[in-house]
Amino acid sequence: MGKQRRERKREHYYRMAKRAGYRARSAFKLKQFNERYELLQSGNVVVDLGAAPGGWLQVAREEVGDEGFVLGVDLQKIAKLPYRNVKTLVADITDLSISELIRQNLPRPADVVLSDASPKISGVWSIDHARSIELADAAFAIACEVLSKGGKLLVKVFQGEFFQDFVQNVRKNFDHLKISKPPASRKGSSEVYVIANGFKRI
């Protein structure tokens, strides 16, 4: 895709997000995943890792409705959303005690763990890949601690040499796994999303 077309696409999703009242263009990625893979259902408990500024939280809240619960975690403070069942925490998802903190803030084990967490981009491909894998590993470790049996995980990863090891690790713990890039993703970017369902809680 040429530079001009990429710009037009970014602008397109930016305008759509503004019109729909979403805080981030990335909201459309989650909407596209949800249409395709039926990730989020009414009444679900959802954990969203790397959630600022809150576009995915808004989409998740739409899907889980009044009966569900959504918890967002980010290094940055997330401006409050006007729902009693959306909570946010300022925390580092790579902290060793993070799963315990998340569990303490959930009404019950989670049905879905989402992670759109991204490292600060250095521009050096191997460094950005390694940092992305660190975040994806952290999201996977949290999912193993907070998901209920049969639960789902959606996690962003930048592709690179450690990608297949990460996928194999996740695959062992879930019944099904897919790798996908939503139309709202930039074509040139190395980001893909791993979607796993049927968590095998032992």
Ligand X SMILES: C[S@@+](CC[C@H](N)C(=O)[O-])C[C@H]1O[C@@H](n2cnc3c(N)ncnc32)[C@H](O)[C@@H]1O
Q: Which of 60, 135, 184, 192 binds ligand X (CB under 6 A)?
A: 135
For residue 195, what are the β-bridge partners?
154, 178
Residue with tokens 């713990």: 173
DSSP state of 132: H
Phi, psi of 109 (to 5 degrees): -55, 150
Of 3, 77, 156, 181, catalytic: 156
In this chain, which of 31, 47, 63, 74 binds ligand X, going by CB under 6 A?
74
User: Whose structure tokens read 């954990």?
Assistant: 47
Among 17, 31, 33, 55, binds ligand X (CB under 6 A): 55
Per-residue mark of binding to ligand X, 16-45 (x: CB under 6 A): -------xx-xx------------------
Among the listed ranges 11-19, 38-46, 111-119, 163-171, the one in contact with ligand X (CB under 6 A) is 111-119
Residues of this chain that interact with ligand X (CB under 6 A) are 23-24, 26-27, 50-56, 73-76, 92-94, 116-118, 135
Give the active site residues.
156
